[in-house]
Amino acid sequence: MNANPAFADLPPRAVFFDLDGTLVDSAPDMAAAVNELMARYGLAPHSLEAVRGMIGHGVEKLIERAFAAHSLALGLEDQSASREQMNEIYGGHLTQLTTLRPGAGSALTAARKAGMRTGVVTNKPEGFSRIVLAHFGLSDELDVVIGGDAGHLKKPAPDMLLAACHACGCSSAQAVMVGDSMADVGAARAAGMRCIIVRGGYTELAAEDLGADRVIDVLDQLESVFLR
């Protein structure tokens, strides 16, 4: 990996991680929930890969894309009902099929040992996020967790990242966002924050085309990027 001027003054004071597609691969559990929802509406299931492409921007967008794939658009009342059903279904099996992405635990541990504040900033509901993080033993490695229902505009708006910076006592210029999608890059750019993308997440674009400052293959490569 070549040196990048954007990281010349690292290590940063804080590093914030996306959750779905970055720290964990939650697509199998999400796909199972989506397909149970589809069945309730008498619709055919979606493949795992199709659901991977639908993830991003929160549960509302996931549901919208799942129905749109069947050429259906829900009215406001049905949107609310389907969201409640999706949360009920998914909340019942948050960690049955979800796995930790390679290097996730070691990356958090290394960042903490280097004196950095750490956090998760995700469009996923905060309660669900905390359950997933606790399941994988990551909660104690985090200073802040901000979910999509915490009252801030969701990524790619910068609000959640700025709130994380405030919680960690740093400026956005002193922090780095680690994610897997355009929403993560967009939020980081809007917040004035550097961004690293990890391959293999939930994005239709190639990792190199997302516009991040750095692309890595696995999370444990973060140590060679800014823990030097």
Cβ atoms of residues 148 and 124 within 8 Å: yes
194 and 160 together in one domain: yes
Taking residues 4-31, what's their average pLDDT?
87
pLDDT digits (tens, 9 = 90+) for 85-125: 999 999 999 999 999 999 999 999 989 988 999 999 999 99
**Which positions are catalytic?**
18
Q: Are residues 156 and 218 in the same domain?
A: yes
Confidence band (pLDDT; 50, 70, 90) for 203? confident
Model pTM score: 0.92
| CATH assignment of the domain containing 68 | 1.10.150.240
Domain count, the chain: 2
* Cβ–Cβ under 8 Å, residues 196 and 177: yes
166-204 in b/e form (b: 16+ CB < 10 A) is: eebebebebbbbbbbbbbbbbbbbbbebbbbbbeebbbe
Radius of gyration of the chain (CA): 17
Domain end, chosen from 92, 115, 148, is at: 92
In this structure, is residue 8 part of a structural domain?
no
Cα(165)–Cα(173) distance, integer angstroms: 10
Could you list the residue range(s) of the whole structural domain that residue 77 is in? 27-92
Please tell me whether residues 50 and 128 are part of one structural domain: no
Interval 146-169: pLDDT, tens:
999 999 999 999 999 999 999 999
Could you tell me the two tokens for 103?
């290097």
Distance CA 162, CA 227 (A): 23
Examine residue 215 and state whether it is found in any structural domain, yes or no: yes
| Pair 203, 18: CB distance under 8 Å | no
